[in-house]
Amino acid sequence: MSETPKMKPRWKPSSRFYKAIEMACEGHKDHVRKGSDIPYIGHLLGVASTVIEAGGSEKQAIAAFLHDMVEDTSTSVKQIDRKFGKTVAKIVDACTDATKAEKDAEKKAQADKDKADEWWTRKSKYLGKLKEKTMKDPSVLVALADKTYNAENTATDLRGKNDDERKDVWSKFNAGGELQEKWYRGLLEAFKENKTYDKFSQPLFNRFEAAVNEIFPNNT
């Protein structure tokens, strides 16, 4: 009986891959997931793993580790470009809807309504850009992995909760349930528009759609 040919990995981690993990761990070492004491690096590891399993390249996986660096630390897109190259920098830039300084300014808004308005303004701009992209843009897969990870976690947090408990879950976010629904429905539309998924990425989109429909069951 002949032996089954040994499968080879699509790519092997380079030194830049290890540097990206180190940079992500250092940059987010004091950060936690919203409303918890879970180290934020867990999210980044989850997104990177999802990208890899959905057929992503090493550069996409590196960008997955770094996709929140510009939003949550003082790191700039230019710094990422110098360390990891233009492709990674462009993906991170595309996944960034506001810099840390811009988000800090938003948090200082006096009224809750003003905060919500500013939050939705930047989210709307992000949705408009995402809707125009195709899967030829390497940032789309990273964004889909990120949003799927978040949606599945939120679905888990909401599962089995009554209305008051659901409000408590939404209270940890920058915008309440109504705006969050608008955001997730907008993402679902954007991930459908102009996108053709392959055998690796289609299951990931299906997971995202299922999570959104579980979070907001009244509008399925």
Look up 30 and say whether it is catalytic: no
Rounded to whole angstroms, the Cα distance separating 179 from 100 reads 21
CA nearest neighbour of 154 among 33, 2, 59:
33
CA nearest neighbour of 64 among 40, 48, 82:
48
Give me the pLDDT at residue 4, please: 62
Q: Which helix (H) or strand (E) holds 208?
A: helix 202-215
Rounded to whole angstroms, the Cα distance separating 202 from 73 reads 32
User: Could you count the other beta carbons within 10 Å of the beta carbon of residue 9?
Assistant: 7
* Domain residue spans of the chain: 15-101+108-219
Tokens of 139: 């940032």
Look up 22 and say whether it is catalytic: no
Spot the catalytic one: 71, 81, 93, 209: 71
Spot the catalytic one: 72, 93, 102, 209: 72
Residue-wise pLDDT tens for the chain (220 aa)? 556 668 899 999 999 999 999 999 999 999 999 888 999 999 999 999 999 999 999 999 999 999 999 999 999 999 999 999 999 999 999 999 988 888 887 777 656 677 788 889 999 999 999 999 999 999 999 999 999 999 999 999 999 999 899 889 988 887 888 999 999 999 999 999 999 999 999 999 999 999 999 999 875 4
CATH number of 15-101+108-219: 1.10.3210.10
